[in-house]
Amino acid sequence: MIGFGRYNLLVRIGQGGMGVVWLGRQKALGRFCAVKLLDPEFAKKPGTDKRFLREARAAASLSHPNLVSVFDGDEFDGQHFIAMEYVEGFGVGDILQMRGPAPVPLALRWLQQAAVALDYVHSRGLIHRDVKPQNMLINADGRLKLMDLGLAKDMFDTEHSLTITGMVVGSPNYISPEQIRDPKTVDFRTDLYSLGISFYQMLTAKAPFERTSAAAVCAAHLQDPMPSVGLADAELTAELDHFIARLTEKNREARYQSAAEVLAGILPWLERRPIDNASRAYLAAAPFHERAVGQLLKAEGIEPEQVDANLTPVPRGELTSLLNGTGSDTTVVTDDTAPMPKRRPWLWLVGGILLGAALVGGTVFAMFKVVVAPLVAQMKARAKPAPPSPGDVAVWLQQRRVFAEQLFAETRHCPESEWLAKKKQLLDKIRDNLQQQWRIQDPAVLDRIVANNANLLEEVRAMTTAEFQRAKPRLLDRWLLQGRKPGERPKAAPPP
């Protein structure tokens, strides 16, 4: 056991790409958690520690049943860490190693839950960038929780990009072609590619491109076609092969365009293939009891009453090597405080004077913060409104994209005999949207944009289904870019 600031680290439970993971106990709240420690070698790289904590903040802003919750990230005695929810289960990769290929109904539900989690992550403007079976935790009830946003990229944070020029991030077996070519240009669809590779592995218990080196694996992602899942049911194999091939298209424009589309694509299978006895037996045979907190403590010889014990301190600076397994074999290590020597009486007088000065200074500072600072902030806000937050921009983009997709759908499904009347209704709807949502009031600007949209709707109507599917991303971009100067970023509308 290791005392670690606000936590007691109890059992070392895993090793990841960026560091080790411990089962811990948060002292103040008395809850068990997983504490991920940044590898000291990573911490030596310039800016890594700041990125590590920024990733913790990004993950902590998310809350979803299919995501592992992150609730703390900090640094103690030179060691950076993230504290997160502990799941009493195994990664999908571990289960596949123990039990072999998953039954199709179970694999489909794992895929469904992972897609739901990604849909939520993407809606918050984040890309995971390391989707793989090892980052999908499963408990005994079959609940999947996606974890480890350690490589997450904020689509709206251009100032603090987590990608280093010339550095490919992600796991080679699951990395998308665009992430290999230029990691700085990836978008949400890179996660969908990795999801497709993971689904293939769920069904076969092996990665589709098993090669002798990481470079050869990356070359296969760029060039080689996806192999077949090769199930006993030939008809089902053909259906799944077609689905996975589209999910893992080399050209992301031909890929599924959102996690919501993936969910819609697997819905018929979910309805036809409920969880069966084979799926239940497959899960029941995995030793989930070994991951229970009580079992881990028992295996380590830790009594329940010891988990909140005060631990004996050790010299400062030795903590990092002990935590990461490079120091001496020690079971009781440092706490955040050590016994203090007795102070001479005159030190108490000096301490009292300093405390009084601190109280006076604190009172003045509090008055400034409570009274003066808000007034200054209000004056600045009136002079220059605050820029929209990434969340505002994400909502802005999503609202307008949904509106445009509704317009395109109504345009394409309208009978020819009703088109002229329908077109007038759609243009009136566009004008109202521009006035109410986009805050455009200039009549000349409104007329110009409405006229451009009339041409856009005619283009959409004239296309075949295949042409429309290929052109849809470009058409949506035209809708989102209208009314802005070249190069101008999307802006959130001011409040009504």
Give the pLDDT of residue 346: 61
Give the pLDDT of residue 152: 47
Which residue, 146, 137, 153, is CA-closest to 67?
146
Give the pLDDT of residue 334: 43
Task: Report the length, in residues, of the chain.
Answer: 496
Around Cβ 69, how many Cβ atoms within 10 Å?
17
Give the pLDDT of residue 240: 96
Give the pLDDT of residue 407: 85
Whether 130 sits among the annotated catalytic residues: the reply is yes
The HSE-up count of residue 281 (CA atoms within 13 Å, CB side) is 6
∠ CA(459), CA(253), CA(401), 5° rounding?
Answer: 60
Give the pLDDT of residue 248: 96
d(C-alpha 174, C-alpha 197), whole Å? 6
For residue 7, list its beta bridge partners.
4, 26
Q: CA-CA distances (angstroms) from residue 449 to 111, 471, 474, 481?
A: 42, 20, 17, 11
Please report the sign of the dihedral spanned by the C-alpha atoms of residue 276, residue 279, residue 281, residue 283.
negative
Please report the sign of the dihedral spanned by the C-alpha atoms of residue 67, residue 13, residue 33, residue 37.
negative
Give the pLDDT of residue 370: 64
* 397: Cα separation from own chain's centroid: 19
In a structure prediction context, what are the per-residue pLDDT tens digits for the chain, which is 496 residues long?
A: 788 888 989 899 887 667 789 999 998 888 999 998 887 776 677 777 777 777 777 778 888 999 999 988 888 887 888 899 999 999 999 999 999 999 999 999 999 999 999 999 999 888 988 899 999 999 988 999 998 874 444 433 333 333 333 334 457 899 999 999 988 889 999 999 999 999 999 999 999 999 988 899 999 999 999 999 999 999 999 999 999 999 999 999 999 999 999 999 999 999 999 999 999 999 999 999 999 999 999 988 888 877 877 665 555 556 666 666 544 333 444 444 444 444 455 666 777 788 777 777 777 776 666 666 666 666 665 655 555 555 555 666 777 778 888 888 888 888 888 888 888 888 998 888 888 777 787 888 888 888 888 888 888 888 888 888 888 888 888 877 775 544 444 444 444 4
Give the pLDDT of residue 322: 64
Q: CA-CA distances (angstroms) from residue 181 to 78, 178, 221, 345?
A: 35, 5, 11, 68
Give the pLDDT of residue 382: 60
Q: What are phi and psi of 90, to 5 degrees?
A: -125, 160
DSSP H or E segment with residue 427: helix 419-436
d(C-alpha 71, C-alpha 61), whole Å? 9
Q: pTM for the whole thing?
A: 0.62
Residue type at 36 in one-letter notation = K
Catalytic, out of 72, 74, 130, 392: 130
SS3 assignment, position 307: coil
